[in-house]
Amino acid sequence: MMDSNAVFDPRALAARLRSLHNAGKLAPTASFALPADLRHAMDAQNFLAAEEGITSNAWKVTASPDGQAVTAPLHPYAETDSGAQIPWAKGMKFEAEIAVRLGKDLAIRESNYSRAEVADAVATVHLGAELLASAIEESGRLSFFLFLADRLGNCGYVLGPTMPKALIDTATGTQLKVTFNGQPIYDAPAQHPKGDVLTWLVGYANDRFRPESSLKAGALITTGTLCGAIELASPGEIDILLGEASRLHLSLIAK
């Protein structure tokens, strides 16, 4: 059990998380010195991203349990309709998602952005696949800030083909089929946790405390799962079909 009175060291937390990931190991929440607030969590996340050498301008957005908009970089990151390879990790989960690339800046401002303004800033819409594997045994169930420091569990992202922009309005309810090693693991209408795939992006756009460098033209933002988080017990091949024509294939490979 960690000493709750110990001074929090974000660099030390980042180093421990990276070591656990590199070793393919997990540790319980109680064994960590916990970030007490959003700033400490983001300091640790930034140190972790620097240690991992993350340079892609690709991000996930979501909200904390109390509704605070949060983000984390996607890594490793690949852009391809087929052939991407992501290292498999024990406990890995998969999510099919919609991603958007901004065509104009969403600068920090005093007045809130409407959904229509955020949608107008979107240049292209893509089918994407996110892989999740936290170094924390309980993921974010006991400490969301610790999970945020661990890049919200992201351990890979594949950006697939462009799709009609209208899908940001119609993705929920569109038929989605996912197979793993040829076996169906999801075959039902797509369902976003918030119903609207832009909900978390709009929330982050209206966060006046986000970095000035965030949400600039060219940034790639993934918007949340359309199929829940599906655990994948082994390496293998994933095929995604959204609607009748949008396809994405990727491979999870043993380290």
pLDDT (tens digit per residue) in 146-155: 999 999 999 9
| Residue 202 covered by a domain | yes
| Residue 243 covered by a domain | yes
The encoded tokens of residue 15 equal 């180093």
pTM: 0.94
Instruction: Please tell me the total count of domains within the chain.
Output: 1
Question: What is the CB neighbour count within 10 angstroms for residue 94?
Answer: 26
Q: Which domain holds residue 131?
A: 56-253
| Residue 217 covered by a domain | yes
For residue 198, the domain's CATH number is 3.90.850.10
CA nearest to 127, candidates 43, 240, 45: 240
| Residue 8 covered by a domain | no
pLDDT beyond 80 at 235:
yes
CA nearest to 82, candidates 176, 167, 158: 158
The encoded tokens of residue 169 equal 């309005």
Q: What is the mean pLDDT of residues 17-41?
A: 95
- Model pLDDT for residues 221-234, shown as the tens digit of each residue: 999 999 999 999 99
| Residue 232 covered by a domain | yes
In which band, very low, low, confident or very high, does the pLDDT at 255 lie, cut at 50, 70 and 90?
Answer: confident
In which band, very low, low, confident or very high, does the pLDDT at 141 lie, cut at 50, 70 and 90?
Answer: very high
**Which residues have C-beta within 8 Å of that of residue 65, sequence separation ≥ 6?**
144
- Model pLDDT for residues 44-97, shown as the tens digit of each residue: 999 999 999 998 899 999 999 999 999 999 999 999 988 899 999 989 999 999
Give pLDDT, residue 82. Answer: 86
One-character DSSP codes across 224-245 = EESS--EE--S-EEEEEEETTT
